[in-house]
Amino acid sequence: MQHTKAVLLTLVLTLVLIACGRPEVPDSYQTESRPPKIMPDYTDVTIPANICPLNFRVFESGKQVVARISVDDLQYTYGNKMKVLFDEEEWNMLLERAKGGKMKVEVFVDEGHQWKAYQPFSIYVAKDDIDPYISYRLIQPAYVAYSDLTIAQRNLTNYDESDIYSNTLVATPKIGQCINCHSYQNYRTDHMMFHMREGLPGTMIVEGKQLKKVNLKTPEIISAGVYPAWHPTQNLIAYSTNLIGQTFHTKDVAKVEVQDKESDLILYDVSKDEVFTISNDSNELETFPTWSADGNTLYYCSAHFEYKNGSSEDAEIIDSYKNLHYNIYARDFDQQTRAFSERRIIFDAASQNKSATLPRVSPDGKYLVFSLGNFGCFHVWHPEADIWLLNLETLETQNLEALNSDRSDSYPSFSSNGRWIMTDSRRDDSNYTRPYIAYFDTDGNCHKAFELPQRDPEFYTLFLRSYNRPEFMTEPVSITPEQFAIEAKKDAKNVKYVTAPTH
Amino acid sequence: MKKAIYTLLFPLAAYIILLLHADYLHAVAEGDMFIGGQAFFEETLRTPGGFWTWIGCFLTQFFTYPWLGALILVAIWTATYIMLTDAFRLKGWHSLLAWIPLFALLVSVIDIGYWLYYIMMPGYWFSQSVSFFAAVLTTWIIVRLVRLVWNKDIAWIVFIIVYFAMMQQFPVFHHRNYENHLLQLPFIVAPVSVVLLSLIRLVKWQPRSKWATEITTFTALAVFSITAYLLSFRNANFHAEIRMQSALEAFEWDKVIEEAQAAKNPTNLMVVFKNIALMHTDRMPEMFKINNCGSMPETGDSLIVRTAQIAGPLVYYYFGQINYAYRRAMENNVQYRLQARNMKMMARCAIMNHEFDLAAKYLTILSKSTFNKSWVREYEPMLRFADNLHKSKDFQFIAPLLNEDINTLDIDNSMPVQWILNHFADLINTKNRKQDNIALCTSLWVKDEYAFCIQFYNYSKNYPGEPTPELYQQAALLLGRSEDSPINLDNFPFDQLILDRFDHFNSDYASMSNMGIPLKEIGTRMRDVYGDTYWWYYYFGDFKAY
Closest-CA distance, B178 to chain A, in angstroms, reads 9
Asked if the model's pLDDT at residue B480 lies above 90, the reply is: no
Q: Which residues of A touch B172 (CB under 8 A)?
A: 172-174
Average pLDDT over residues B353-381: 96
Q: Mind listing the pLDDT tens digit for each residue in A383-405?
A: 999 999 999 999 999 999 999 99
B358 closest CB neighbour out of A166, A250, A430? A430
Give me the pLDDT at residue B212, please: 84
Q: Mind listing the pLDDT tens digit for each residue in A406-427?
A: 999 999 999 999 999 999 999 9
Closest-CA distance, A255 to chain B, in angstroms, reads 6
Average pLDDT, chain A: 94
- The one-letter amino acid code at A196 reads M
Asked if the model's pLDDT at residue B70 lies above 80, the reply is: yes
d(CA B378, CA A147): 32
Describe chain A by its helix, strand, coil percentages, rounded to 5.
10, 45, 45
Q: Which of B29, B165, B178 is nearest to B109 (CA)?
A: B29
Kindly indicate the confidence band of residue A173, based on its pLDDT and cuts at 50, 70 and 90: confident
Q: Is A139 exposed, middle or buried (0-12, 13-18, 19+ CB in 10 A)?
A: buried
- The one-letter amino acid code at B234 reads R
Q: Which of B430, B426, B461, B437 is nearest to B282 (CA)?
A: B437
CA distances A379 to B100, B328, B420, B540, Å, are: 57, 22, 28, 50
DSSP string, A164-209: EEEGGGT--SSS-EEEEEEEEETTEEEEEEEEEEESS-EEEEEETT
Q: Which of A417-421, B178-182, B314-318 has the lowest mean pLDDT?
A: B178-182
Q: Which of A251, A258, A316 is nearest to A287 (CA)?
A: A258
Give me the pLDDT at residue A1, please: 47
B168 or A112: which leads in pLDDT: A112
d(CA A473, CA A484): 19
B39 or A481: which leads in pLDDT: A481
Give me the pLDDT at residue B210, please: 79
B152 or B139: which leads in pLDDT: B139
Overall fold of domain A36-125: Immunoglobulin-like (2.60.40)
Average pLDDT over residues A193-202: 94
Q: Mind listing the pLDDT tens digit for each residue in B235-257?
A: 999 999 999 999 999 999 999 99
Tell me how crowded residue A186 is: count the other CB atoms within 10 A of its CB: 16
CB B359 within 8 A of CB B351: yes
**Highest mean pLDDT (candidates A164-178, A248-262, B205-219):** A248-262
Q: Closest chain A residue to B357 measured between Cα atoms?
A: A429
CB B379 within 8 A of CB B507: no
CB atoms B364 and A461 under 8 Å: yes
In angstroms, the first-to-last Cα distance of chain B is 55
Kindly indicate the confidence band of residue A144, based on its pLDDT and cuts at 50, 70 and 90: confident
d(CA B308, CA A448): 43
Closest-CA distance, A254 to chain B, in angstroms, reads 9
**Residues within 8 A of A (CB atoms), B 315-374 only:** 321-324, 326-327, 330-335, 338, 353, 355, 357-358, 360-361, 364-365, 368
Give me the pLDDT at residue A81, please: 94
CB B127 within 8 A of CB B32: no
Q: Which of B229, B230, B249, B182 is nearest to B26 (CA)?
A: B249
CB atoms B365 and A430 under 8 Å: no
Contacts of B137 (CB under 8 A, 6+ apart): B79, B80, B83
Q: Which residues of B touch A148 (CB under 8 A)?
A: 46-47
Within an 8 Å CB–CB cutoff, is residue A144 touching chain B? yes
Q: Which of B270, B221, B202, B254 is nearest to B16 (CA)?
A: B221
- Domain A133-494 in CATH 3.30.460.20? The answer is no
CB B240 within 8 A of CB B259: yes
Average pLDDT, chain B: 93
- The one-letter amino acid code at B365 reads I
Q: Which of A319, A431, A432 to mutate to test the interface with B (most CBs of B within 10 A)?
A: A431
CB atoms B48 and A168 under 8 Å: yes
Average pLDDT over residues A117-141: 97
Asked if the model's pLDDT at residue A20 lies above 60, the reply is: no
Which helix (H) or strand (E) segment holds residue B289: the answer is none
CA distances A35 to A44, A62, A70, A460, B148, Å, are: 10, 15, 16, 22, 67
Closest-CA distance, A143 to chain B, in angstroms, reads 7
Give me the pLDDT at residue A7, please: 55
Eight-class DSSP state of A445: -
Give me the pLDDT at residue A6, please: 53
B408 closest CB neighbour out of A144, A250, A431? A250
d(CA A376, CA A317): 11
Asked if the model's pLDDT at residue A17 lies above 50, the reply is: no
Q: Which of A119-133, A321-335, A485-499, B453-467 has the lowest mean pLDDT?
A: B453-467
Asked if the model's pLDDT at residue B143 lies above 70, the reply is: yes
d(CA A70, CA A87): 14
Give this prediction's pTM: 0.94
ipTM over 0.90: yes
B349 or B429: which leads in pLDDT: B349
d(CA A28, CA A227): 58
Average pLDDT over residues B406-419: 93
Helix (H, G, I), strand (E, B) or coil at A237: strand
Q: Which of A5-9, A354-358, B96-100 has the lowest mean pLDDT?
A: A5-9
Phi, psi of A78 (to 5 degrees): -140, 160
Q: Which residues of B touch A462 (CB under 8 A)?
A: 35, 37, 39-40, 364-365, 368
Q: Mind listing the pLDDT tens digit for each residue in A453-479?
A: 999 999 999 999 999 999 999 999 999
Kindly indicate the confidence band of residue A499, based on its pLDDT and cuts at 50, 70 and 90: very high
Asked if the model's pLDDT at residue A15 lies above 60, the reply is: no
Which helix (H) or strand (E) segment holds residue B86: the answer is helix B66-87
Tell me how crowded residue B255 is: count the other CB atoms within 10 A of its CB: 16
CA distances B366 to A165, A447, B35, B357, B379, Å, are: 30, 36, 7, 14, 11
Q: Mind listing the pLDDT tens digit for each residue in A302-354?
A: 999 999 877 777 889 999 999 999 999 999 999 999 999 999 999 999 999 99
Largest Cα–Cα distance of chain B, in whole Å?
102
Give me the pLDDT at residue B25, please: 98
Contacts of A387 (CB under 8 A, 6+ apart): A369, A370, A371, A372, A399, A400, A403, A404, A409, A410, A412, A421, A423
Q: Where in chain A is the domain with CATH 2.120.10.30?
A: 133-494
Within 13 A of B376's CA, how many CA atoms are on the CB side?
17
Q: Where in chain A is the domain with CATH 2.60.40?
A: 36-125
Phi, psi of A456 (to 5 degrees): -100, 115
Asked if the model's pLDDT at residue A139 lies above 90, the reply is: yes
**Residues within 8 A of A (CB atoms), B 499-538 only:** none
DSSP string, A119-178: PPEEEEE-SS---SEEEEEEE---SS-----EEEEEETTS--EEEEEEGGGT--SSS-EE
Q: Mind listing the pLDDT tens digit for each residue in B181-219?
A: 999 999 999 999 998 888 887 777 777 787 888 888 889
Asked if the model's pLDDT at residue B157 lies above 50, the reply is: yes
d(CA A291, CA A269): 15
Q: Mind listing the pLDDT tens digit for each residue in B110-123?
A: 999 999 999 999 99
Kindly indicate the confidence band of residue A8, based on its pLDDT and cuts at 50, 70 and 90: low
Computed from CA positions of residues B262, B266, B268, B269, in that sequence, does the dihedral angle turn out positive or negative? Answer: negative
Average pLDDT over residues B440-468: 93
CA distances A376 to A255, A256, A260, Å, are: 14, 11, 9
Displacement of CA A259 from its chain's centroid (Å): 21
Tell me how crowded residue B407 is: count the other CB atoms within 10 A of its CB: 14
Give me the pLDDT at residue A308, please: 86
CB A484 within 8 A of CB A211: yes
Q: Mind listing the pLDDT tens digit for each residue in A203-242?
A: 999 999 999 999 999 999 999 999 999 999 999 999 999 9
